[in-house]
Amino acid sequence: MIPEIIILAMVAAFLGLRLYSVLGRRAEGEEEIVRNGFERGEEKKPVAAAPAPVVELPRNERQISGFPPAIDRGLREIATADRRFDLLSFLEGAKGAYEMVLEAFWRGDREELRELCDDDVYEGFSAALDEREAVGHTLDNRLIRIEDTTIHSAMLDGHIARIAVRFVSDIAAITRDKDGNAIAGSLDDAVESRDVWTFSRDVRSNDPAWLLDETDEG
């Protein structure tokens, strides 16, 4: 028994020495690699934090921001009630409507005015045309340019959206009698005009058109 124990002890000691020699060389090699890495000046650079993602507001949210509180609130209520509402598109359309209504009134085109205005505004234009035609006057006006277009007010009244727009424009105007003679104004000198026109639309309607429902000087 004793020789067997001695032999087993010698085998265990031999395996232990072999294991130590392998692990010892591996650990020394790993330490050498780390040390040499720092010696070459290859210090680990701190990992930069990933930049926070840029969260962009929806297009209409960006358009609406920056207005006075009452206008801001009104525009947001309209945009919430009508998801198709786009402020920039509305302003472009309002400028086009301003030009079309003026020119239709100047040339006495009731049919076009009927399409662009609500009942009250149309009746006002029609009455003015009746008076003008009764005395035989005609207007030879020109819209030279629209200098500025700004939102004056905005509100959602039930299902009716109303947005008032202030237009600053230059208009050359001349009134002619029934014989075509100029009796007032001049086409050579443009006069600044300031108007506040209110446009309305039922947000439940499938018709995207806005109608002119009020005109004021502004």
Containing structural domain, residue 198: 59-217
pLDDT in tens, 110-167: 999 999 999 999 999 999 999 999 999 999 999 999 999 999 999 999 999 999 999 9
Tell me the CATH number at 76. Answer: 3.10.450.240
CA distances from 194 to 42, 100, 120, 163, 168 (A): 70, 17, 21, 16, 5
164 part of a folded domain: yes
pLDDT value of position 60: 61
pLDDT value of position 187: 84
70 part of a folded domain: yes
194 part of a folded domain: yes
Q: What percent of the chain has pLDDT above 90?
A: 66
43 part of a folded domain: no
Confidence of residue 16 (pLDDT cuts 50, 70, 90): very low
- Which residue type does 146 have? I
SS (H, E, C) 130-198: HHHHHHCCEECCEEEEEEEEEEEEEEEECCEEEEEEEEEEEEEEEEECCCCCEEEEEEEEEEEEEEEEE
Phi then psi for 118, rounded to 5 degrees?
-80, 180
What total number of domains does the chain contain? 1
pLDDT value of position 63: 76
50 part of a folded domain: no
- For the cut 70, the answer to whether the pLDDT of residue 36 exceeds it is no
101 part of a folded domain: yes
Tell me the mean pLDDT in the region 1-19. 45
pLDDT in tens, 40-69: 444 444 555 555 444 444 556 657 878 999
